[in-house]
Structure 1
Amino acid sequence: MHESDTKYDVILDAREDRCPMPLLKAKMALSKMTSGQCLCVKASDSGSLKDIPHYVHLVGFSLLSTSEDNDIYTFVIQKI
């Protein structure tokens, strides 16, 4: 699935943030979303590669995609 194929309900730009802020901001955004909505998170902190997928798995949401381009990590999460 490519970014252009997905409609995002919320886009979170955490590219300037350092650990643990991308994860904390993603948690806050997801808490305000309804079931079925999609969140796109963009982060530059490499800790996000471990933190965000781990959190998504813990809470039972769906990680639809993870990609990396020029040291920017993009996560697409669907709230279940």
Structure 2
Amino acid sequence: MKYLLVLLVIVIAIGIWRSRRRVERAQRPAAPRAAPLQPPQDMVACARCGLHLPRSEALVLEAPQPRYYCCAQHRAQGPA
């Protein structure tokens, strides 16, 4: 009978502990969601050094055909 009483107290203590954990989880603010990934961008090579970079970051020299450069210095020097 004594062991049954001890077991009952342990089960009640575990039940109280688990219910408090549930309440704490419910009150915890949700983790911020990650920003949605951007779609892949087209990559272009610098006409001077061959460095690949996204088209949105490249400097463009509109000639008969567009040429892409990684920096203003390479654009001023022209293609290799």
TM-score by length of 1: 0.20
Q: Which has the higher contact order (CA 8 A, sep 6+)?
A: 1
- Higher helix content, 1 or 2: 2
Query: TM-score if structure 2 supplies the norm length?
Result: 0.20
Larger Rg: 2
